[in-house]
Amino acid sequence: MTGQERAAHAGTLDPKVTGSLPLLLGRATRAARVFDGLDKEYITVLELQGPPPADLETVIEAFEGEVFQTPPRKSAVVRERRVRRIHALDILERDGRQVLLRVRCESGTYVRKLCHDLGLALGTGAHMGDLRRSATGRFDDTSPVTLHDLADALAFWREDGEEDPLREVVAPAERALAGLPGVVIAESAAREVAHGAPVYAPGVLETRPAPHDGTQPETGDLVACTTPDGAAVALGPLTGDPDSDRGTIVNTDRVLV
């Protein structure tokens, strides 16, 4: 559709599941690792197989925290018992034997299995009804883009050279990096990085904290290297002290320009 030779996605959606699925095109595919392990949020219908018990809310709340899960038989991973964290489990609505839940959880959590286990704990039995992924990390479904939206925007661009509709549905790569701590580098350093060089101390202008908690990057953290005007240059682990006068500061293993 777009004519791009490369594309990537941040996770998969099972059949009949809708919602947030970030896609990357062209050079932005080099930033795909940013999405590895991001927390997910889901909206699901818990279908009880009996009348809801009086302690429904208490039982559901008890599932917040670490839970044990074994992947279902039809899964792409080895069926080994593992621990996943449920950050929040909220009841949004109740209607008879149907309970609308919002699940904020660690990547790799099986919501279908969670619903089954909730049914066992409630003593009624239960299964998952509808499921929608409402967020992948910072990317939520408040402003979704459909394939029809993309097709229309591409048609405007190809027929009339109109870029505005396309810019509304295709975000720049910088948006994918916005959740990372950053290292701002000089334009001269950016040119060297574009040709495969790491970021050396003289090219570092400043560091920027991770927006979600305000902490400065530490050695080993994945950082986004940008120019002073915010253009993405590269990704890589912080390997040295940004305040140092010499040495390698970032090993750039993904060049984005």
Q: What is the CA radius of gyration of the chain?
A: 22
Return per-residue pLDDT of the chain as tens, 257 residues.
878 889 988 888 888 899 988 999 988 999 998 988 899 999 999 999 999 999 999 999 999 999 999 877 666 666 788 999 999 999 999 999 999 999 999 999 999 999 999 999 999 999 999 999 999 988 888 888 888 999 999 998 999 888 899 999 998 989 889 889 999 999 999 999 999 999 999 999 999 998 888 889 999 999 999 999 999 999 999 999 999 999 999 999 999 98
Q: For residue 93, how many C-alpha atoms fall within 13 Å in the half-sphere facing its CB?
A: 7
Q: What amino acid positions are annotated as catalytic residues? A: 14
Distance CA 24, CA 2 (A): 12
Judge whether 171 and 10 are in contact, CB under 8 Å: no
In this structure, what token pair is assigned to residue 134? 């409402």
Res 55: pLDDT: 96
Angle at 97 between CA 91 and CA 101, to 5 degrees: 20
pTM, two decimals, is 0.86
**Distance separating the N- and C-terminal Cα atoms of the chain:** 23
Length of the chain: 257
Domains defined for the chain, CATH in brackets: 35-140 (3.30.70.3190), 143-171 (no CATH), 174-255 (2.30.130.10)
Q: Which of 180, 179, 174, 175 is nearest to 222 (CA)?
A: 180
Q: Which of 17, 74, 11, 5 is nearest to 40 (CA)?
A: 11
Res 143: pLDDT: 80
